[in-house]
Amino acid sequence: MGVALVFLAALVAFGISTVSGGGAGLLLLPVLARVLPASSVPAALTVGTATGTVSKLALFWRSINWPVTRRFVPGAVPGVLLGAYLLKYLNPLYLEVFIGLFLLSNLPAALKRSHPTSEAAAPERAGWLKLSTIGFLAGFLSGLTGAVGLLFKKFYFRYGLSRDEVIATRAANEMLLHAIKLVLYLYLGLLTGSAWQAGAVVAVAAVLATTGAKRLVKYLSETLFQRIGYAAMVLSGVFMLAGAGQELRTTENLRASTALLGDNLEITGWWRSTSLTLELEINDSPAIEQPVAFSDLPRRVQAEVRRLQRGRRLLNLEEVWAIGGHYYEAYFSAGGRVQSVDIKEESAT
């Protein structure tokens, strides 16, 4: 079931990628995350996307814009080395959330009636520093997640590249990065048997989809090609946020809930074993609350809690940050009733 899911998803993703100029990797990230450990996803994705990149190079070789590639690659190489190295120490899921949000920001561009390229600067005039910086960022993020080429799609549009040039130049820019990543992932022990298997499935689907979709590209106008590209960015953002959110909920206990308590609306978020509550009161300012252990209270506050307890059962303690100041809140139970008391450290006896 997992192999079939990956193959079908890769077939659709690379079909869209060829027609829109990229984005297969970002679309596949949440799918691969369902069948592989998070640390193996970039490695498996690189195996598959490298094959797809080779097929694009073979089909669109004559359209490569070499001036852009010569400026892009020198910055991308150190970026991918750093990103792959940090992969063992950072959780790429958090990065995927930010990337997903960035991709969603392209929604206004996807809804525009037209995307004129006449205002873009000519690729040959692009400065070394700017393109090398963009290359470094692309390489760094690619080393961490396996594929973020679509994240920089807007860059290709702004430099006036045509439909075929976008596809070919992106493939040329990314081919060396894929080779470096494969070597690094192998050295770091991230290319496991399951990663190779998933990558091989993606690779087969990539070749089939790229070859088939090439016939459609020549029928697309430049404006329609750009519109599809921006739409692919938005779609990738939706898939990435959904997949990363589900994985973080499972692995990091990342979740949120709301509760209406009298006149107060409480929004509580959990991360691992920690929780944080935002309390919105109708007649008061917003406040942020966090559970706190009695032993972590200042000594004066501990003494005040003991004094106020008076034989009642202590239910909960919270540390509160509000616009009006910082204080603690203690909840007591007696006779079936719950009472809360605010305690400021400076007023505690």
Q: What is the pLDDT of residues 53-80, one digit of tens each?
A: 888 788 888 888 888 888 888 888 898 8
Q: Tell me, what DSSP letter sits at residue 282?
A: T
Instruction: Please tell me which residue, 151 or 196, carries the higher pLDDT value.
Output: 196
pLDDT of residue 158: 73
pLDDT of residue 279: 61
Calpha distance 49→55 (Å, rounded): 10
Q: Tell me, what DSSP letter sits at residue 105?
A: T
pLDDT of residue 3: 81
- Which pairs with CB-CB distance under 8 Å and at least 24 residues apart come from 184-187? 184/80, 184/81, 184/84, 184/85, 184/143, 185/42, 185/43, 185/46, 185/84
pLDDT band at 153 (very low <50, low <70, confident <90, very high): low
Q: State yes or no: pLDDT of 25 exceeds 50.
A: yes
**Contact at 8 Å (CB) between 64 and 53?**
no
Direct distance between the N- and C-terminal alpha carbons of the chain, in angstroms, rounded to an integer: 65
Q: State yes or no: pLDDT of 121 exceeds 50.
A: no
pLDDT of residue 230: 73
Q: State yes or no: pLDDT of 261 exceeds 60.
A: no
Residue 34: Cβ within 10 Å count: 14
Q: Which among 13-17, 142-146, 147-151, 225-229 has the top mean pLDDT?
A: 13-17
**Contact at 8 Å (CB) between 293 and 301?**
no
Instruction: Please tell me which residue, 167 or 114, carries the higher pLDDT value.
Output: 167
**Contact at 8 Å (CB) between 177 and 156?**
no
pLDDT of residue 122: 45
Q: Tell me, what DSSP letter sits at residue 254?
A: -
Mean pLDDT on 128-147: 79
Q: State yes or no: pLDDT of 335 exceeds 80.
A: no
Q: State yes or no: pLDDT of 291 exceeds 80.
A: yes
In sequence order, what are the beta bridge partners of 261? 264
* Domain extents in the chain: 2-251, 256-347
Task: Give the SS3 label for residue 92.
Answer: helix
> Tokens in use for 128?
């070394």
pLDDT of residue 120: 42
pLDDT of residue 221: 72
> Tokens in use for 277?
């509550």
Estimate the share of the chain in helix, then strand, then coil, as percent rounded to the nearest 5: 65, 15, 20
Q: State yes or no: pLDDT of 118 exceeds 60.
A: no
pLDDT of residue 150: 58
Instruction: Please tell me which residue, 74 or 91, carries the higher pLDDT value.
Output: 74
Q: State yes or no: pLDDT of 325 exceeds 60.
A: yes
DSSP letter for each residue of 175-231: HHHHHHHHHHHHHTT---HHHHHHHHHHHHHHHHHHHHHHHHHTTS-HHHHHHHHHH
Residue 17: Cβ within 10 Å count: 31
Calpha distance 341→129 (Å, rounded): 59
Averaged pLDDT score across all residues of the chain: 77
Q: State yes or no: pLDDT of 135 exceeds 70.
A: yes
pLDDT of residue 273: 67
Instruction: Please tell me which residue, 312 or 109, carries the higher pLDDT value.
Output: 312
- Which pairs with CB-CB distance under 8 Å and at least 24 residues apart come from 338-347? 339/312, 341/308, 343/301, 343/304, 343/305, 343/308, 345/298, 345/300, 345/301
Q: Which among 14-23, 109-118, 159-168, 302-311 has the top mean pLDDT?
A: 302-311
Q: Tell me, what DSSP letter sits at residue 121?
A: P
Q: State yes or no: pLDDT of 228 exceeds 50.
A: yes
**Contact at 8 Å (CB) between 128 and 118?**
no
Q: State yes or no: pLDDT of 86 exceeds 70.
A: yes
> Tokens in use for 124?
């040959």
Mean pLDDT on 166-190: 82
Instruction: Please tell me which residue, 92 or 299, carries the higher pLDDT value.
Output: 299
Q: State yes or no: pLDDT of 2 exceeds 60.
A: yes
User: For residue 19, what are the CA distances in angstroms to 112, 167, 195?
Assistant: 19, 9, 27
Q: Per residue in 38-57, pLDDT tens?
A: 778 888 888 888 887 888 78
Mean pLDDT on 325-345: 83
Task: Give the SS3 label for residue 77.
Answer: helix
Q: State yes or no: pLDDT of 141 exceeds 60.
A: yes
Residues 6+ apart with CB under 8 A from 339: 312, 331, 332, 333
